[in-house]
């Protein structure tokens, strides 16, 4: 272990945490134990210097570049809004996930054994990830060609899963994380099941016909408590991402 009291190691993480909070005025110097104050002040000075470097390194953006970015953004949205009903965007999203599942099937990955670990599922799905071209293929929607399922997360800001019950095919925990990101966006309304199959007091069941790693599944989700996937046959937990 180093003698340097400002060095960032787990052993003196308290100093970094105190220093960081002091820089942010989340605490006062008086809140810090006397014996740590010198080290904390020295470390805080380093943090302030680093912050200054980060801020002064920002490049100036000229107004023509901003004009162009705004014009392209508004034009893109206008093109999409005139070429497709909103519901079809979600349709493409689910279609792309379905295509991803098909790709998994094509490469012969058997992920339905109950012994499959998340890691193995993840690894297998990685090799079978849907290509951008496939993602854009289901319907000529005008969506940008490079939009994968991930890219639809921002769309959630204006979308719901209303209407006919959607089907959702998930291959791995990365895609679960994508769902969490998408469903956590403010304004996104996730329909809930009125009669869930599996009991989860923290997370309501989401009203979609879900398949996880090839098995019928029930998804439970809340922004505060994360997402958990249960096998519908026996309500065993198949995967999840929780805080």
Partner 1 sequence: MTSTPSLDSLLRDHYSMIQAVCRRILLNDSDADDATQNAMIAIVRGYESFDGRSAFSTWVYRIATNAALDELRRRRRRPLSLFSNDGQQVDIADTHSDDRQLAFEASDYLAQGLAQIPEEFRVALVLRDVADLDYEEISQVLNIPIGTVRSRIARGRGRLADILGNSDAPHERQNPDIGNT
Number of other CB atoms surrounding residue 102 within 10 Å: 13
- Whether the CB-CB separation of 188 and 154 falls below 8 Å is answered with no
Query: Would you count residue 76 as binding partner 1 (CB under 8 A)?
Result: yes
Residues constituting the chain: 243
The only residue of 81, 83, 112, 162 in contact with partner 1, by rule CB under 8 A:
81
Stretch that binds partner 1, among 29-37, 52-60, 192-200, 213-221 (CB under 8 A): 52-60
Among 36, 185, 197, 235, binds partner 1 (CB under 8 A): 185
Q: Which residue has the tokens 């996730």?
A: 190
In angstroms, the CA 210 to CA 169 distance is 6
Closer by beta carbon to partner 1, 120 or else 235:
120
Give min distance, CB of 197 to partner 1, in A. Answer: 26
For partner 1, which is the closer residue by CB, 64 or 194? Answer: 64
Single out the residue of 29, 69, 105, 202 in contact with partner 1 (rule: CB under 8 A): 69
* Per-residue contact flags (x/-) with partner 1 for residues 83 to 122, judged by CB under 8 A: ----------------------------------------
Taking CB under 8 A as the criterion, the residue among 20, 84, 141, 167 binding partner 1 is 20
Residues of this chain that interact with partner 1 (CB under 8 A) are: 4-8, 13, 16-17, 19-21, 23-24, 26, 42-43, 45-55, 57-61, 66, 69-70, 72-74, 76-78, 80-81, 126, 129, 146, 148, 150-151, 153-155, 157-158, 174, 178, 180-181, 184-187, 223, 243
């Amino acid at each position: 272990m180093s003698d340097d009291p400002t060095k960032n190691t787990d052993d003196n993480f308290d100093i970094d945490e105190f220093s960081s909070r002091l820089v942010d005025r989340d605490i006062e110097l008086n809140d810090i134990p006397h014996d740590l104050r010198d080290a904390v002040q020295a470390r805080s000075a380093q943090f302030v210097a680093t912050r200054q470097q980060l801020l002064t390194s920002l490049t100036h953006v000229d107004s023509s570049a901003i004009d162009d970015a705004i014009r392209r953004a508004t034009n893109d949205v206008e093109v999409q809004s005139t070429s497709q009903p909103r519901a079809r965007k979600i349709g493409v999203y689910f279609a792309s996930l379905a295509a991803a599942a098909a790709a998994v099937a094509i490469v012969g990955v058997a992920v339905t054994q109950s012994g499959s670990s998340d890691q193995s599922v993840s690894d297998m799905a990685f090799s079978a990830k849907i290509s951008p071209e496939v993602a854009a293929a289901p319907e000529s929607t005008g969506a940008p060609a490079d939009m994968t399922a991930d890219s639809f997360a921002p769309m959630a800001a204006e979308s719901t899963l209303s209407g006919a019950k959607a089907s959702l095919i998930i291959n791995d925990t990365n895609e679960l994380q994508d769902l969490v990101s998408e469903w956590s966006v403010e304004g996104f309304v996730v329909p809930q099941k009125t009669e869930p199959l599996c009991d989860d007091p923290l997370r309501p069941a989401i009203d979609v016909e879900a398949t996880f790693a090839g098995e019928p599944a029930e998804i439970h989700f809340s922004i505060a408590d994360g997402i958990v996937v249960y096998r519908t046959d026996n309500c065993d937990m198949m995967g999840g991402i929780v805080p």
